[in-house]
Amino acid sequence: MLHNIFLLFVGLLSLEHVSFAEVPSSQIVNITETREYAERMQNFTRTNFEHLEKVRNRSIRVARSCKDLRDRYDEREDGVYYLTTGNGMLYQTYCDMTTAGGGWTLVASVHENSVYGRCTVGDRWSSQQGNNADLPDGDGNWSNRNTFGTVESATADDFKNPGYYDITAEDMSVWHIPNKLPLEHWNQEAAAILRYHTENQFLTLYGGNLFQLFKQYPVRYKVGTCSDRGPAIPIIYDHGDAESTKKLYGPNPRREFEPGFITFRAINWESAAMAICSGVKPTVGCNTEHYCIGGGGYFNPEEQCGDFPSFDYDRLGKEQGWSASKEMTEAAVLLFYR
Ligand SMILES: *[C@@H]1O[C@H](CO)[C@@H](O)[C@H](O)[C@H]1NC(C)=O
Ligand SMILES: *[C@@H]1O[C@H](CO)[C@@H](O)[C@H](O)[C@H]1NC(C)=O
Ligand SMILES: *[C@@H]1O[C@H](CO)[C@@H](O)[C@H](O)[C@H]1NC(C)=O
Ligand SMILES: *[C@@H]1O[C@H](CO)[C@@H](O)[C@H](O)[C@H]1NC(C)=O
Ligand SMILES: [Ca+2]
Ligand SMILES: [Ca+2]
Ligand SMILES: [Ca+2]
């Protein structure tokens, strides 16, 4: 953004130089106006120390979750905060302090860097080690304490912070927002593709977080059959609705799910496991590889292995057949707890 504005500025300056050279003196650059413009630009790019001090001051707060920050310190602003794990490890993540009362901690993002890469680099939520039946758990990152990524790059690559396993929560919120969208724009609802949250405190039944839930429902090749799905939880929409959710996936999968849910640990016809079916509950058929994300380490056929397994089955984003929409495929899935 800054870069673009800078380019525009440089562009404008050079345009004015052109006019300076080629037009009569009556249209010569107005020095007063140019100076003002330069000052505005300087103001725009100058470090805002007051703001920096405000966000840096947040580090004195002691909290294990964004909900703690809301409840103990009455923090109400969306943005980056500091959290501390039970063992005393300090980390930073994003807090959504506005949706449905706020207090939501960003714990992970699932990002597909290349839908053509089949369990290759960047497929941390399935496997980076190739499609391999001897690695049924793949990278195992749904149920380990490994962390990766940073909060500011959560829409540009995978992200997992200690909150994923350290926070004991009741509910989840999920945001699908376009890849590469900068953090300062995440909370603009118009930028979202889909947003929803649960409110029946389902996590209390599964150990309080996804780390525990996926221990009960391992994301593992051949762990069971299609009917051994994990829980499907009803959702409240914060952006979008049942109809718009359907359209994010291909016309064929639409006949096999019901919108209005988030489902955990789906298994397809070929015994591949997937972690999350976002916004939907599989009802008939077992072709979940076209609309559920994350996975174990093996899919058959191999073309389906990856963080967004077979979202591109009928060519990327053509909204035909089994393929998910382009906007869905090119959006990161942000997972929050409260
Ligand atoms: C230059 O722009 C300023 C502000 O718009 C205006 O007040 C001034 O009269 C202009 N000067 C000339 C020489 O056009
Ligand atoms: C730039 O910032 C200064 C200090 O905040 C302010 O006085 C001035 O009006 C600003 N200039 C412009 C062109 O916005
Ligand atoms: C940051 O904290 C210091 C020390 O408590 C305080 O004096 C200062 O006003 C705070 N700054 C902002 C911008 O809140
Ligand atoms: C999980 O993700 C990390 C980070 O990308 C990766 O290096 C690792 O292989 C994955 N698997 C395990 C078991 O940690
Ligand atoms: Ca991939
Ligand atoms: Ca990824
Ligand atoms: Ca299939």
In a domain, 83, yes or no: no
**Are 30 and 164 part of one and the same domain?**
no
In a domain, 141, yes or no: yes
In a domain, 23, yes or no: yes
**Are 113 and 31 part of one and the same domain?**
no
In a domain, 288, yes or no: yes
* pLDDT digits 0-9 by tens, 182-200: 999 999 988 999 999 999 9
Round to whole Å and give the CA distance between 123 and 148. Answer: 12
Alpha helix (H) ranges present in the chain?
2-22, 31-45, 49-57, 66-73, 163-166, 210-216, 242-247, 251-254, 326-329
State the sign of the Cα–Cα–Cα–Cα dihedral 1, 173, 79, 188.
positive
Round to whole Å and give the CA distance between 250 and 268. Answer: 17
For residue 128, give the ligand nearest its CA: 4
Element (H, E) at 91: strand 90-96
Count CB-CB contacts under 10 A for residue 88.
6
Report yes or no: 167 and 176 within 8 Å, Cβ to Cβ: no
**Are 34 and 154 part of one and the same domain?**
no
In a domain, 235, yes or no: yes
Taking the whole predicted model, whether its pTM rises above 0.85 is answered as no
**Are 244 and 331 part of one and the same domain?**
yes
The total domain count for the chain is: 2
Q: Which residues line ligand 1 (CB under 6 A)?
A: 30, 32-33
pLDDT value at position 14?
44
Range of the domain at 317: 104-337
Structural domain ending residue among the three candidates 46, 62, 77: 46
Structural domain ending residue among the three candidates 28, 46, 64: 46
pLDDT value at position 26?
59
Q: How far does the centroid of ligand 1 lie from the alpha carbon of residue 9, in Å?
A: 20
> Probe ligand 2: pick from 9, 35, 42, 43, max atoms within 8 Å of CB?
43
Which tokens is 51 given?
A: 């703001």
**Are 157 and 264 part of one and the same domain?**
yes
* pLDDT digits 0-9 by tens, 1-59: 445 544 444 444 444 444 444 555 556 788 888 999 998 888 777 888 999 999 999 99
In a domain, 99, yes or no: no
pLDDT value at position 317?
59
**Are 38 and 117 part of one and the same domain?**
no
pLDDT value at position 302?
84
Structural domain ending residue among the three candidates 31, 46, 61: 46
**Are 41 and 113 part of one and the same domain?**
no
pLDDT value at position 284?
94
Atom 11 in ligand 1: residue holding the nearest Cα: 30
For residue 38, give the ligand nearest its CA: 2
**Are 19 and 138 part of one and the same domain?**
no
For residue 43, give the ligand nearest its CA: 2
pLDDT value at position 316?
63
**Are 38 and 108 part of one and the same domain?**
no
Residues of the chain with pLDDT under 50: 1-2, 5-21
pLDDT value at position 9?
45
Report yes or no: 295 and 305 within 8 Å, Cβ to Cβ: yes
Report yes or no: 329 and 308 within 8 Å, Cβ to Cβ: yes
Which region, left, alpha or beta, applies to residue 101 given φ > 0 means left and ψ of -120 to 50 means alpha?
A: left
In a domain, 92, yes or no: no
Round to whole Å and give the CA distance between 56 and 237. Answer: 33
**Are 234 and 140 part of one and the same domain?**
yes
In a domain, 321, yes or no: yes
**Are 136 and 218 part of one and the same domain?**
yes
pLDDT value at position 137?
79
**Are 118 and 27 part of one and the same domain?**
no
Q: Phi/psi of residue 237, each to 5°? A: -80, 135
